[in-house]
């Protein structure tokens, strides 16, 4: 009973924090098709769930064949502290869109509470910095009659902008549900020539969930979703349905409410090594000018101690 009261106290505190920062516009943070295996990148409470030292790298190339298409690279590292419920981690992201470049480094922290023998709740904190660069002189402007635009003069070069985020993650070996705000502080960027200012780092609210069902002795089914929201923009939701065969091979399909659908697969080489791939296709007019969106993932675990789970991780 005491544990339930403590959980309620922390949950209420988290909700109060969320309500105090719930204003934002636009959407810039990267999306991931393999979001169910890349949760630490946007939810610090996921850190430590592997119960081993884990490394995950992901590369995402959008609109292949389209010059200046977004390219995102993510590296996450997590580790539990021995004999404690604390998880520590590191998240590194490089995100380039045309001439706009971002590089971010964040540390991740989580603490686990046991709700039942099988269900745990982790609360997490993410803190770090983002380096942003955008040379506005590199852009080619098409202005009737010629001339210039003061909004595209100078260089936006912001070094080591601090930020922090929060998250909650409830899970067992068969299901998960989480909520997070990866970046709470909102930063405005201006160039070094005029007084032009633009909002850049805006608050994203992310809700995720998934569940694993046994269809037979060798086939498992996992439906999952990832919903993202920013005030002033429509909610974007990824809905995924994946099948696991013989605890070795994942294959699934995804639909994104914005404008795309895709397919994903993952090979579980052994309990340490996994390789994943996803491809998305746009349903908007831009689909005629690119060869899709490709995403490659690799993860590796160092298991020095025996974990609680005897079955493979499902997320």
Q: Residues for the chain: how many in total? A: 315
Cα separation, 19 vs 147, in Å, equals 45
What is the DSSP secondary-structure string of 98-142? TTEEEEEEEEEEEEEEESSSS-EEEEEEEEEEEEEEEEGGGPPP-
CB-facing half-sphere around the CA of 306: CA atoms within 13 A: 1
Please name the helix (run of DSSP H) or strand (run of DSSP E) that holds residue 304, with its range, or none.
none
Of 100 and 1, the one with more pLDDT: 100
Coil, helix or strand at residue 290? coil
The least confident of 18-27, 43-52, 130-139, 156-165 is 18-27
pLDDT the model gives residue 290? 65
**Angle value at C-alpha 270, between 269 and 275, nearest 5 degrees:** 35
pLDDT the model gives residue 11? 40
What token pair was written down for 228?
A: 């993202």
Grade residue 284 by pLDDT with cuts at 50, 70 and 90: confident
Considering the domain boundaries, does residue 312 fall inside one? no
Q: With helix as H, strand as E and coil as C, how does 235-249 read?
A: CEEEEEEEEEECCCE
What is the DSSP secondary-structure string of 5-38? HHHHHHHHHHHHHHHHT-------SPP-TTGGG-
Considering the domain boundaries, does residue 166 fall inside one? yes
Quote the mean pLDDT of the chain. Answer: 82
Name residues whose C-beta falls within 8 Å of residue 6's C-beta, 6 or more positions apart in sequence: 113
pLDDT the model gives residue 16? 34
The answer on pLDDT for 264 being more than 90 is yes
47: DSSP letter? T
pLDDT the model gives residue 43? 98
The number of distinct structural domains making up the chain is 1
What is the DSSP secondary-structure string of 175-243? EEEEEEES--S-EEEE-SSSS-EEEEE---EEEEEEE-EESSSSEEEEEEEEEEE-TTS--EEEEEEEE
What value does the mean pLDDT take over residues 263-277?
Answer: 95
What value does the mean pLDDT take over residues 20-34?
Answer: 59
Grade residue 304 by pLDDT with cuts at 50, 70 and 90: low
What token pair was written down for 169?
A: 């993650």
Considering the domain boundaries, does residue 8 fall inside one? no
Considering the domain boundaries, does residue 308 fall inside one? no
What value does the mean pLDDT take over residues 257-263?
Answer: 89
Q: Which bin fits 160, alpha (ψ -120 to 50), beta or left (φ > 0)?
A: left
Where in the sequence is the domain holding 292, given as residue range(s)? 27-302
Considering the domain boundaries, does residue 16 fall inside one? no
Of 283 and 126, the one with more pLDDT: 126
Of 134 and 8, the one with more pLDDT: 134
pTM above 0.85, yes or no: no
pLDDT the model gives residue 5? 45
Considering the domain boundaries, does residue 2 fall inside one? no
Q: Determine the distance from the C-alpha atom of residue 242 to the mean position of all C-alpha atoms in its chain, rounded to a whole number.
A: 19
The answer on pLDDT for 35 being more than 90 is yes
Name residues whose C-beta falls within 8 Å of residue 67's C-beta, 6 or more positions apart in sequence: none
Grade residue 140 by pLDDT with cuts at 50, 70 and 90: low
Q: What is the pLDDT of residues 63-96, one digit of tens each?
A: 776 676 789 999 999 999 877 799 999 999 999 8
Considering the domain boundaries, does residue 74 fall inside one? yes
Q: Which residues pair with 311 in a beta bridge?
A: none
Specify the CATH number for the domain of residue 51.
2.40.160.60
Considering the domain boundaries, does residue 4 fall inside one? no
Cα separation, 133 vs 311, in Å, equals 44
Grade residue 231 by pLDDT with cuts at 50, 70 and 90: confident
């Amino acid at each position: 009973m005491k544990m339930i009261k403590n959980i309620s106290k922390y949950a209420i505190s988290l909700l109060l924090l969320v309500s105090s920062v719930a204003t934002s516009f636009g959407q810039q943070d990267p999306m991931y098709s393999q979001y169910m295996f890349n949760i630490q990148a946007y939810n610090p409470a996921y850190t430590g769930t592997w119960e081993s030292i884990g490394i995950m790298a992901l590369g995402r190339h959008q609109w292949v064949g389209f010059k200046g298409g977004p390219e995102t690279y993510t590296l996450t590292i997590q580790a539990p502290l021995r004999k404690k419920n604390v998880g520590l981690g590191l998240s590194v992201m490089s995100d380039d869109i045309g001439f706009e470049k971002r590089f971010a480094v964040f540390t991740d922290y989580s603490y686990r509470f046991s709700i039942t023998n099988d269900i745990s709740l982790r609360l997490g904190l993410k803190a770090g910095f983002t380096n942003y660069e955008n040379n506005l002189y590199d852009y080619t402007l098409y202005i009737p009659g010629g001339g210039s635009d003061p909004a595209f003069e100078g260089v936006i070069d912001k070094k080591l902008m601090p930020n922090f985020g929060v998250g909650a993650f409830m899970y067992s070996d068969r299901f998960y549900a989480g909520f997070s705000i990866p970046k709470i502080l909102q930063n405005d960027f201006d160039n070094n020539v005029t007084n032009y200012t633009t909002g850049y780092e805006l608050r994203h609210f992310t809700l995720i969930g998934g569940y694993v069902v046994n269809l037979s002795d060798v086939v498992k089914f996992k439906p999952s979703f990832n919903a993202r929201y920013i005030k002033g923009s429509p909610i974007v939701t990824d809905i995924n349905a994946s099948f696991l065969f013989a605890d070795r091979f994942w294959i699934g399909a995804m639909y994104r409410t914005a404008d795309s659908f895709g397919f994903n697969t993952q090979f579980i080489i052994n309990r340490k090594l996994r390789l994943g791939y996803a491809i998305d296709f746009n349903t908007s007019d831009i689909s005629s000018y690119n060869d899709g969106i490709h995403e490659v993932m690799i993860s590796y675990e160092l298991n020095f101690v025996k974990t609680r789970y005897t079955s493979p991780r499902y997320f």
